[in-house]
Chains A and B, each alone.
Chain A
């Protein structure tokens, strides 16, 4: 699936990178290249939501990233 949104860093727990999705949900980013993790970057991420994942961050569903592209 493809999701659009803004990449953000949240300093909760150990610190966590999230995709603040245009769909109104917050996704915890898992995997993907280091270039994805730039605060404020607008992106379209291709990946899968891992519904069974349990995390220390607990900010929202885990999005396993396969790839992404920056969008305007």
Chain B
């Protein structure tokens, strides 16, 4: 009559399955690390007027001070290692060569050389005018591009339109050839061709996703993102709050994850505020210009609670004289300051002011120019694995350059793309326990739905290693292996890091975090296949139960938390129904696996 010792067997199978998984992970190619990525090669450059001196190990601070007086140098230990390593730095040396000659003769000096600074080689695009884009360097785009380029994230540019198509008298500017677009809308003329008859929107769009590394013109922040052109402002750059509210809702409903609003007015509008809240509830980040009044009044929509209000700084990092500031300011970004002379504005491709048939490179300044930098970095963060507007905003603010506190003239600080991605990486390393908790609740509900004769005990299920291990693996990953590894064996290998992540996320780690989630991986496929095997092979049912329950918790939580975009699904709106359907299917499979066999 079946298996005599199902517990024994299932435990053995649990171990066996665990072993197979470990083996598979060990054989997997090393994951493309995306967090804190610094390429192995580095560029070196001598730091002027500085040298490094390696004294005999264990030299006392007094002896070093004595040498400093003797040589006439300002010496300090390089690190807290201090005398133990004996490495000291001399700054402000007028004649480095002469100083080296003096220092090298000393018996207590092991070595001395000019101080060299190592810089990680970062992605430098071949766009010929990139050198003039001080703004991109200010927010550390080259370093950020090593990590994320915004792949696939839809950014709506709600503005005067974009010069994105050759149609009638309109043109696509050459430096937007290669940039990807999704369908947009023209709310001013009520057409599906939101072309730019002003030049503002195209400039803003360029900062977000100018075709980059294409040998033409300039670069954009998130050049692998997709732009959604939406026209709400007329040829004179003026529009109504009603059109803008409509546009915000439209963009959020059509899959935009980031909304860029480089526009504003002094008048509060409840309709627009509700639209901003709606977009946020749909999982979109709403980034708005603080205004150019130079006063302490942030304009609307930037001042609404759900919006990220962006002020502008010049190349010197100081708040630009035109930039608005105040209580609702969230962050500042490069917007240019032309009072400092030519070259200090923001340079992007657009169409000529007054002649929208003529493509030009133009240098503008304004909080409108600062805003798309933030919107672009928001797209990088979504592509790098951020799931919610909250996560994106936290990373933007935590990564910003600041004194560590919010101020009305700088918000949370100055935008830093590399810093924001690093802040996100630090966050996503923390374990998200929600899917596991949800699985626990699901388990309780499923057990209650079973007839008491068929129902195993809650803890009996949960504490069975054959169930618990796959449950943990699919919801939070086997984080404990990494902890133990660090404790006893140092830095864990890639395979262990992969095991420490929830099973459905392995694909994204193995093939790059920037990718969207694969709907087949984010589905009931694996538990279903396992369940089919378990029809005949009853012993593995506890394992399949854990797998199914965990996947159910993971998928349903992903749906609840505004899941990442799923790749290959034709419509974005299918993503959540897909997750919910598969999550429920997994729960059902789990229930089947949990049912006790009752002897007849």
By a beta-carbon cutoff of 8 Å, the part of chain A in contact with chain B is 10-15, 26, 30, 51-62
Contacts and interface: CB of A to CB of B under 8 A. Distances in A.
Contacts of A51: 265-267
A59 B292 contact: yes
Interface string B221-246: 00000000000110011111110100
Interface stretch (B29-37, B85-93, B363-371): B363-371
B236 A52 contact: no
A54 B292 contact: no
Interface of B: 159-160, 198-200, 232-233, 236-242, 244, 262-267, 269, 289, 291-293, 299-300, 322, 324, 338, 353, 364-369
A60 B299 CA distance: 9
Nearest to A13: B366
B238 A30 contact: yes
A49 B523 CA distance: 56
Contacts of B160: 56
Contacts of B240: 52-54
Overall SS of chain A's interface:
loop
Contacts of A12: 292, 322, 365-366
Contact of B238 (A15, A26, A55, A60): A55
Top 8 closest pairs, chain A to chain B, by CB: A56-B237, A13-B366, A54-B265, A58-B291, A51-B267, A58-B264, A58-B292, A56-B200
B368 A56 contact: yes
B263 A60 contact: no
Given A10-B292, A11-B338, A56-B237, 6 more contacts: A13-B365, A14-B200, A30-B238, A53-B240, A56-B368, A58-B324
Contacts of B322: 10, 12, 59
A58 to B, nearest CB: 4
A51 to B, nearest CB: 4
Contacts of A26: 293
Given A53-B265, A56-B262, A58-B367, A15 B353 contact: yes
A57 B241 contact: no
B265 A62 contact: yes
Nearest to B362: A14
A58 B290 CA distance: 8
B239 A55 contact: yes
A65 B569 CA distance: 51
Nearest to A11: B338
Contact of A14 (B241, B265, B364): B364
A56 B267 CA distance: 14
A41 to B, nearest CB: 20
A57 B292 contact: yes
A58 B289 contact: yes
A48 B199 CA distance: 27
23 contacts: A13-B366, A13-B368, A14-B353, A26-B293, A30-B236, A51-B266, A52-B265, A52-B267, A52-B269, A54-B238, A55-B238, A55-B265, A56-B160, A56-B233, A56-B263, A56-B366, A57-B292, A58-B263, A58-B265, A59-B291, A59-B293, A61-B266, A62-B265
A60 B31 CA distance: 52
Given A15-B353, A60-B266, A61-B267, A53 B239 contact: yes
Contact of B237 (A11, A52, A57, A61): A57
A5 to B, nearest CB: 15
Given A13-B366, A14-B364, A60-B293, A54 B198 contact: no
Given A13-B368, A62-B238, A54 B263 contact: yes
A71 B598 CA distance: 99
B241 A52 contact: yes
A11 B344 CA distance: 13
A20 to B, nearest CB: 12
B233 to A, nearest CB: 6
Query: Max chain A CB contacts within 10 Å: which of B160, B267, B299, B369?
Result: B267
Contacts of A62: 238, 265
Contacts of A14: 198-200, 237, 353, 364
A56 B159 contact: yes
A51 B263 CA distance: 14
B296 to A, nearest CB: 13
Contacts of A54: 232-233, 238-241, 244, 263-265, 300
B274 to A, nearest CB: 15
A54 B291 CA distance: 11
A50 B262 CA distance: 19
A16 B578 CA distance: 49
Contacts of A10: 292, 322
B192 to A, nearest CB: 22
Contacts of B262: 56
Contacts of A56: 159-160, 198, 200, 233, 237, 262-263, 366, 368
A42 to B, nearest CB: 22
Contacts of A58: 263-265, 289, 291-293, 299, 324, 366-368
Nearest to B366: A13
A19 to B, nearest CB: 14
Contacts of B368: 13, 56, 58
A60 B160 CA distance: 19
Given A11-B338, A13-B366, A14-B200, A55 B293 contact: no
Choose among B199, B262, B269, B364 the residue with the greatest number of A CB atoms under 10 Å from its CB.
Answer: B364
B393 to A, nearest CB: 22
A59 B291 CA distance: 7
A9 to B, nearest CB: 13
A53 B238 contact: yes
A13 B364 contact: yes
A54 B232 CA distance: 9
Nearest to B297: A60
Contacts of B292: 10, 12-13, 57-59
B416 to A, nearest CB: 25
Contacts of B233: 54-56
**A51, A53, A56, A62: which has the most chain B beta carbons within 10 Å?**
A56
